């Protein structure tokens, strides 16, 4: 495989590992915050659904802000 193709494959693999790790951390954080210890129902209730929606939205917002800061972009609001 040409060196450029090998680099592209390595970059794609790193990106996939990053996304899987981020999803795992998001799932763990929101589950811990939003889901009760006792499972009474087989489906999420309204409160749990709302909590998860907010948790995921905040997680992505913070991830975007951190990414901008690390990328050299200016922090929003400053």
Residue 26 structural domain: 3-36+44-74
For 11-58, give the secondary structure using H, E and C: HHHHHHHHHHHHHHHHHHHHHHHHCCCCCCCCCCCHHHHHHHHHHHHH
Phi, psi of 31 (to 5 degrees): -65, -45
Pick the more confident residue, 20 or 70.
20
Pick the more confident residue, 11 or 38.
11
CATH code: domain of residue 31: 1.10.287.810
Number of domains in the chain: 1
**Model pLDDT for residues 12-28, shown as the tens digit of each residue:** 999 999 999 999 999 99
Q: Alpha-carbon distance 54 to 42, whole Å? A: 21
% of the chain with per-residue pLDDT over 70: 88
This prediction has a pTM of: 0.69
Q: What is the reported pLDDT for 56?
A: 96
Exposed / middle / buried, residue 21 (Cβ in 10 Å: 0-12, 13-18, 19+): exposed
């Amino acid at each position: 495989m040409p060196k450029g193709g090998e680099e592209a494959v390595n970059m794609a693999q790193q990106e996939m590992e990053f996304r899987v790790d981020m999803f795992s951390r998001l799932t763990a954080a929101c589950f811990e915050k939003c889901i009760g210890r006792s499972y009474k129902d087989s489906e999420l209730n309204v409160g749990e659904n709302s909590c998860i929606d907010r948790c995921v939205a905040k997680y992505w917002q913070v991830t975007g802000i951190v990414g901008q800061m690390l990328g050299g972009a200016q922090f929003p609001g400053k």
